[in-house]
Amino acid sequence: MVEIFDERIEVSNPGKLLVDVDRIIDTAPHARNERIANFLRIVHICEARGSGFDRIEEGMREWKIPAPKVETTDDFCRTTLCWHRSLSEWSKEEKVRTCYIYTCYCYVNGVEVSNAVLRERFGISDANKAMASRIIKDTLNAGKIKLADPQAAVKMRRYIPYWA
């Protein structure tokens, strides 16, 4: 089911997500019903590579909007995409989720994540480096990312997903 609201789009599916929510960017695709999935690929409704969330993140990055929120239980999976708001209106949870998802996206695409890279994702000016540093600190404290090299100087710090 796809529901369109003024400030968000929600897509809901029956059944739980087949991959861990935290690994949605890098996990190989799975299908509940391979015959239906195969048909959907043939008629170009879906693709086989499992890059849907990568494409979503690319679009969200381009528009400077929060990464999708994915909720799953045994009964359903819901993905919520929010429309554009200024960064000051984002919740802390949205900032942490976006920092984590973008770090995962960069990691699987071989891009080193630094303060500057995250400033670009969030649309933060160079003059507001402290704002990006705060988001990074909150994401580190949430255990979603870690330092690639704990011995690196502050200006040389790079970040990777916690599972890397």
Cα separation of 46 and 35, whole Å?
13
User: Which of the listed CATH numbers 3.30.565, 1.20.58, 3.30.420, 3.20.20 matches domain 2-161?
Assistant: 3.30.565
Cα separation of 1 and 6, whole Å?
17
Q: Rounded to the nearest 5°, which phi and psi values hold at 19?
A: -125, 160
pLDDT of residue 38: 85
pLDDT band at 51 (very low <50, low <70, confident <90, very high): confident
What is the rounded average pLDDT of the residues 133-144? 98
What one-letter code names the amino acid at 58?
A: E
Percent of the chain at pLDDT exceeding 70? 98
- In contact, 112 and 161? CB cutoff 8 Å: no
Q: Residue 48 pLDDT > 70, yes or no?
A: no
pLDDT band at 68 (very low <50, low <70, confident <90, very high): very high
pTM: 0.90
Q: Residue 114 pLDDT > 70, yes or no?
A: yes
In the chain, how long is the greatest CA-to-CA distance? 53
What is the rounded average pLDDT of the residues 67-86? 92
Which contiguous run of DSSP H or E holds residue 75?
Answer: none
Structure tokens of 39? 């048909």
